[in-house]
Amino acid sequence: MSKLETVPKAAPRPAPRQRLLDTASRLFYMEGIRGVGVDRVMAEAEVARGSFYKHFAGKEDLVRAYLETTDQGIRSRFRQAREHIDDPAALLRGMAEGIGDDLCGEGFRGCPFINAAAEYPDTSSAVHQAVLTHRTWFHGVILDAFTELGAADPEWSAAATVALRDGAMVAGYLGNPQSARTTLLRGVETVVAAH
């Protein structure tokens, strides 16, 4: 065997659009959307201006794509959990545990959707619409679980659970993440046990 055959091959470099999304996702989440310019994203992603505009109409389009990518990742995690968990109560508890783990994770800076909504309050903007799309989906899957559980008022139970999640996301960033996690888990357990 020659020396060339023993040298591991480097992973292929992601395409420019993916590098832009990966870089934007990291920077927007850690530093805030308004605080990060497109020029910085392009420089750190090592993508030329022409290539940026080939993939995105502008910064708002990149922000929308960042949120949609984040949304798809969360939906994928939920689908995977749903494949292994048939019991709606266990699904709700598992969802709360997963969010609680995120709260306590290194680099946690709150909910990317709540953060984006705060920076883009105009409900007609593409960014705010991406936030609302995610929240509608999230509320829907929680509502479905409470309906399947046989909750007397599944709409209220879903709204309460989403509010618990929102509060935990903010408290986990601004306060003690472990305390926010515990509060979320106990709160969701209380709502689930009420049915």
Q: What is the pLDDT of residues 43-67, one digit of tens each?
A: 999 999 999 999 999 999 999 999 9
| Residues 27, 29: Cα–Cα separation, whole Å | 5
Reported as a pLDDT band with limits 50, 70 and 90, residue 149 is: very high
The whole-number pLDDT of residue 91 equals: 96
- Phi and psi at residue 48, in whole multiples of 5°? -75, 155
DSSP secondary structure code for residue 35 in this structure = T
The whole-number pLDDT of residue 182 equals: 97
